[in-house]
Chain A
Amino acid sequence: MHQNSVRGARAKYDGLSRKVKVSIEMNAKTVALAEATILFKDVTYSVNGNATHPIIDCISLEIHAGETLVLLGRSGSGKTTLLRLINRLLLPEKGEVRVQGRSTAQWDPIRLRRGIGYVIQEGGLFPHFTVAQNIGLVPNLEKWDASRIARRVDELLNLVGLDPREFSARHPHELSGGQRQRVGVARALAADPPILLMDEPFGALDPVTRAELQREFSSLTHRLGKTIVFVTHDLREALLLASRIVLLQSGRVVASAKPQLFLQIDHPEVEAFAACLGTFHGSGTARDAVPGVST
């Protein structure tokens, strides 16, 4: 209990200092927020009211503006469910999720979701839409005029490293997995949402492409200044991308730390994840195998 409140206070402090920095960077655009961008308050969620085994078990969590929060956990730990509670694909059974100061139950789901980018494994691209139509979807729903959408699509394709002249008119089935994922990211960013949710976006890619996209995405997040919640079961990915890692186990938060400090946490689940780093990457210690930890 005591530890939790200390951790909470520290997280709050980290968040505050970062928020000040972010609001300076974005100056007039963001009015200093009174509370965290995303706030989980004693949130419980279970399927069909099965209260004995909730998927999310009384989680409280603050996610601050500009943070790249990685939700790490095994399959079934509740990380994807937590993500879906943010854009109201699910509503909490108990407690509340507040996004930009307002409970998701009070948000108009359509308005809420248009302000939150969403990227999933394999991109979830519409197979009958061209790349340009896929990326322009939310701007189109928001009734931007055609020339503005076209400009935005070109801009975003360049941003994710795809040549608009070559890719705009293609359909998703004419792309490689990595290219599809890039388009998925571009589509999520289309209407410039302040929040980005990513559900194992690089999970289905081959290791080389995955590493490539992780690196690019890492540098992209620094430039964009978005609040990002990123779900993964890959500790390496978490260490590379996160500004903070939250570890979930059986629907509870069991650890929360900056990547530099994460591996030092004394918790069996942290150790279980850390142990995988060593075994998967052969020689050297876990720390050596992790890019970005020393920085």
Chain B
Amino acid sequence: MSPWQFFLGHRAEILEATTTHLTLVAISMAIATAIALPLGMLIVHRPTLRTIALGVASVFQTIPSLALFGFLIPIPFIGGIGRRTAVVALVLYALLPILRNTYVGLTGIDTAVLQAAEAMGMKDAQILWRVRLPLALPVILAGIRTATVITIGVATIAAAIGAGGLGTFIFRGVAMVSDAVILAGAIPAALLAIAADFLLAALERRLRVA
């Protein structure tokens, strides 16, 4: 059977796996951003917490993805087989790029601008919300983009612990020694990553002022 025939024959199934995949990525990215963005803002003025947060996030990033899934399975409440464990792993994976870029974006602002803001009597919160964050936004978004692309990739492996998604086809295809089945998962996954990268890059360009 050619990949194309397989693709046409299993349209509904592939579409469903794509939806599952995207949901997995969206949930993980939402949680990761909700954690890493405020944390990134918090560590700007707290050097000790910064070292710890960036250190821990890099450790998670360093662990091979399949191993990370493996580590999580025996842990009660967050572990086990299924989608919940996958989301936890994906969140841990996505933390570092968002956290690091938030921190770098917030601190990499022209000192003259920050000094002017302070000298004109802006309060710390006003400087953060009106100056630092808007100016850091393109950099933060670049972090979210990197994290999204990583998450789309790692989410294919989440199929190994029963989270579903496009990885299901890849693993099944490997087991069946069928290129067609592998490609039915691999091609949509690759396209998703490329599309996400492209869209977020376009958004980033729009936000960059100078």
Contact = CB atoms under 8 A, between A and B. Distances in A.
Same assembly: yes
A128 B135 contact: yes
B210 A126 contact: no
A127 B135 CA distance: 8
Q: Which of B126, B134, B135, B209 has the most CB of A within 10 A?
A: B209
A121 B112 contact: yes
Interface residues of B, number: 18
B115 A127 contact: no
Contacts of B126: 141
A111 B121 contact: yes
Contact of A113 (B110, B112, B120): B120
A114 B121 contact: yes
B112 A124 contact: yes
A122 B135 contact: no
B119 A118 contact: yes
Given A121-B112, A124-B116, A173 B121 contact: no
B20 to A, nearest CB: 39
Chain A interface, >50% SS class:
mixed
Contacts of A114: 120-121
A124 B115 contact: yes
B122 A141 contact: yes
B123 A173 contact: no
B121 A141 contact: yes
Contacts of B131: 126
B210 A173 contact: yes
Chain A, interface residues (CB within 8 Å), range: 20 to 34
Interface in B90-145: 110, 112-113, 115-123, 126, 131, 134-135
A146 interface: no
Contacts of A173: 209-210
A110 B121 contact: yes
Contacts of B119: 87, 89, 113, 116, 118, 120, 197
A117 to B, nearest CB: 8
Contacts of A126: 113, 116-117, 131, 135
Nearest to B210: A173
A36 interface: no
Nearest to A122: B112
Contacts of A110: 121, 123
A179 to B, nearest CB: 15
Interface of A: 87, 89, 109-114, 116, 118, 120-128, 137-138, 141, 171-173, 187, 197
